[in-house]
Structure 1
Amino acid sequence: MNKNNIVYAAFFVLAVSVSFTACRNKQSTGLEYARNMYDPIAYNPDQANKNFANGQTAQTPPPNTDPIGFVKYEYANTKEGYEAAGANLVNPLPLTKENLTSGKHYFTVFCAPCHGDAGDGKGHLVQIEKFTGVPAYHGDAASSRGGLMKDLSAGKIYHTIMYGLNNMGSHASQLSPEERWKVVMYVQQLQKIQ
């Protein structure tokens, strides 16, 4: 018998035996490679959990705890909270070129579409949508809460970014506290334009 025929015959017998053993148990999924890579080890939040007395995985945090990186903002979304923020809050960041550049970037992304690149209240959304009432940060533009926009304190600007005002929505979810303070710093530069 030829050596090639022996190899082909051995391969054929092996293939047939593997095929028969693979078809033997219909319930078997066969061998699995790296099972731990797609089976989660941790519990899902809505899954029952025998490790806790109430049987829930998602537990209520202990009282008086805050998430990591959370910065508590003590001023309410009221006229009184706005005035208190204006009187008490000061920008903790130093006035540096880097902070102003970063503040200008965030202003351009989040504020300029309505307030304009120069803070004149003539952003491209105002021109396209033709809605009015977007205040300028300089000149004699009045704030809807009283006073001139150019005289707004850092705390009042921060409070407005935090909660929004009139047509302006809150930007608290888009900007971190440090980023908000950088925007405030840049807006205060725009307030100085005559």
Structure 2
Amino acid sequence: MKGSTLAMNKNKFVYAAFLAIAFAATFSACKDKRSTGLEYARNMYDPIAYNPDQPNKNFKDGKTAQLPPANTKPVGFEEYDKYPNTLEGYNEAGVKMVNPLPVDSTNLAQGKHSFVVFCAPCHGEKGDGQGHLVKIEKFSGVPAYQTGASSRGGNMVDLTAGKIYHTITYGVNNMGSHASQISPTDRWKVVMYVQQLQKGQ
């Protein structure tokens, strides 16, 4: 009996304490209507850095977004101005550019992966010009690497590494440039894989 009374008193005390805390929290929340309550880790969502479009007193022109210094290049940037996006540049690249990567199973596997991701939707996984975008009639006239004719003259099977690289970089006809999606090194791996498809492998 004594134990049950003690337990009841303990429960009443816990219940009363809970009510007191709930009342205090409610009262303090209603006290100042402008208060948003406690903030946790404010610096997680208030940026310390300037946004690019914000005024910035640290620069003479008052702008945050600044032009890069003259004659500088972004990290990982590879200049490709030597072969311009013209028929002459395409033909010159076809003669002078050579794949610097060794033909091995690793490079071919990585080239195949990039090809399947970026090229196969139009060119087809076998390079037959029958990708799923062609099959649902989004695009037409995608040539097969083994039997098709190039829109710039000659047969697709005869395209050199430099011509393939140039086309990946700049695009042609309905095919847009893939320079922003595929790094220069990975472009050479795709070239390597496309040359395997040209052979029907």
Deviation, 1:87, is 1.8
Q: Which moved more, 1:6-15 or 1:27-36?
A: 6-15
User: Cα gap change, 1:163/1:28 in structure 2, threshold over 3 Å: closer, same or farther?
Assistant: same
Residue 151 of structure 1: CA displacement?
1.2
Per the alignment, residue 115 of structure 2 pairs with: 107
- Counterpart of 2:191 (choices 158, 172, 184) is 184
RMSD: 2.9
Letter in 2 for 1:59: Q
Contact 2:171 2:178 in 1 (8 A): yes
- The offset of 1:109, in angstroms, is 2.1
Alignment of 1:8-19 (within 5 A): none
Range 15-24 or range 66-75, more displaced = 15-24
Q: TM-score, normalised by structure 1?
A: 0.81
Rate the CA distance shift 1:155–1:25 in 2: closer, same or farther, 3 A.
same
Alignment match, 1:56:
63
Aligned equivalents of 2:14, 2:194: Cα separation in 1 = 82
- State the one-letter code of the partner of 1:119: G
Aligned to 2:158: 151
- For 1:142, the equivalent position in structure 2 comes to 149
Structure 1 CA distance for aligned equivalents of residues 128 and 16 of structure 2: 86
Q: Are residue 94 (structure 1) and residue 102 (structure 2) matched?
A: yes
Q: Which shows bigger deviation, 74-83 or 17-26?
A: 17-26
Alignment TM-score, normalising by the size of structure 2: 0.79
Deviation of 1:110 after TM superposition, in Å, equals 2.0
- Residue 34 to residue 125, structure 1, CA distance change in 2 (3 Å): closer
Amino acid at match of 2:76: G
Distance in 2 between residues matched to 1:52 and 1:13, nearest whole Å: 56
Name the residue aligned to 1:43.
Answer: 50
1:119 to 122, 127, 137: 127
Contact 2:98–2:161 under 8 Å retained in 1: yes
Aligned residues: 192
Instruction: Tell me the residue number matched to 2:93.
Output: 85
Cα distance in 2 between the residues matched to 1:101 and 1:49 = 48
Please list every run of 5 or more consecutive structure 1 residues that lacks an aligned counterpart in the other structure. Answer: none
Ranges of 4+ aligned residues in structure 1 off by more than 4 Å: 2-31
SS in structure 2 at match of 1:47? coil
Unaligned runs of 5+ in 2: 1-8
Identity of aligned residues (%): 71
CA contact (8 A) 2:56 2:64 kept: yes
- Per the alignment, residue 69 of structure 1 pairs with 76
1:24 & 1:131 partners in 2: Cα distance? 65
Q: 1:27 to 1:178 in 2, by over 3 A?
A: same
